[in-house]
Amino acid sequence: MLASASPRRLELLAQIGIVPDAVHAADIDETPRRAEDARDYARRMAAEKAAAVAASQPGVVLAADTVVVAGRRILGKPADHAEATAFLRLLSGRRHRVMTAVTVAQGAVARHRLVETVVRFRPLTGAEIAAYVAGGDWRGKAGGYGIQGPAAAFAPWMQGSFTAVVGLPLAETATLLAAAGIRGGIGGTP
């Protein structure tokens, strides 16, 4: 079971031959705690999402959370055009970190991984930012961008996991799922 409404996570799972039996988005408070660092926040969100869904649904539950971090500032999903614009201005011409935490819960056992990727954006013009924001691709995406879409043109350099930046690190997720007895179409049976 996938504890996420993200269509990107479903697409990524399909790439490794995994089709969840069901999708149940977790309804939790996603507000960072005072002085909570980004790694702890991402881990907590993934674990809380998994626990919330596992409490009402039997079986293996996969949950993930992705955060974009500029300096020490956590950039969640922008609320509106103005916030998306502000995020992209902040990320323009600099490196930032993308952290995706994954939790696989099975009964009383929960397994966790955190994958950190460094992404560098080239300097963006005001016109580029305005056009991207007007296109709406920022909606529902941490940091206000989706690396798998038009924003790919903003990032000439990346160190780490591309799929983690999209929203689900596939190698680590496959390992966690295999430990829970679920294997996809690569190296196992669907």
The band of 188, judged by pLDDT with boundaries at 50, 70 and 90, is very low
Going by pLDDT thresholds of 50, 70 and 90, the confidence category of residue 186 is low
CB atoms within 10 A of CB 145: 28
Mean pLDDT, residues 83-101: 98
Whether 21 maps to a domain, the answer reads: yes
Q: Is residue 76 part of a domain?
A: yes
Residue 1 resides in a domain: no
pLDDT, mean of residues 70-82: 95
As a whole number of Å, the CA-based R_g of the chain is 17
- pLDDT value at residue 5: 81
Confidence of residue 107 (pLDDT cuts 50, 70, 90): confident
pLDDT of 6 reads: 85
189 found inside a domain: no
Does residue 184 belong to any structural domain of this protein? no
Task: Spell 84-122 as b/e; 16+ CB within 10 A means b.
Answer: bbebbebbbeeebbbbbbbbbbbeeebbbbbbbbebebe
Query: Which pLDDT score is estimated for 75?
Result: 95
Give pLDDT tens digits for 17-57. 999 988 988 889 888 999 899 999 999 999 999 999 998 88
Which residue's structure tokens are 């969640």?
A: 76
Average pLDDT over residues 73-88: 96
Assess if residue 69 is contained within a domain: yes
Catalytic annotation present for 21: no
* CATH of residue 123: 3.90.950.10
Domain hosting residue 134, numbered range: 7-179
Answer whether residue 113 shows pLDDT above 60: yes
Q: Write out the two tokens for 127.
A: 């016109």
Kindly state whether residue 121 falls inside one of the protein's structural domains.
yes
Give this prediction's pTM.
0.91
Active-site residue identified among 27, 65, 80, 137: 65
- Burial class of 65 by CB neighbour count within 10 A (0 to 12, 13 to 18, 19+): buried
Q: Is the pLDDT of residue 93 over 90?
A: yes
Is there a contact between 110 and 102 (Cβ–Cβ < 8 Å)? Answer: no
pLDDT in tens, 117-175: 999 999 999 999 999 999 999 999 999 999 999 999 999 999 999 999 999 999 999 99
* Half-sphere exposure of residue 116: CA atoms within 13 angstroms, side-chain side: 10
**Is residue 131 in some structural domain?**
yes
Q: Which residues contact 174 (CB under 8 A, 6 or more apart)?
A: 16, 18, 183, 184, 186
Q: SS3 sequence, the chain?
A: CECCCCHHHHHHHHHCCCCCCCECCCCCCCCCCCCCCHHHHHHHHHHHHHHHHHCCCCCEEEEEEEEEEECCEEECCCCCHHHHHHHHHHHCCCEEEEEEEEEEEECCEEEEEEEEEEEECCCCCHHHHHHHHHHCCCCCCHHHCCCCCHHHHHCCEEECCHHHHHCCCHHHHHHHHHHCCCCCCCCCCC
Number of domains in the chain: 1
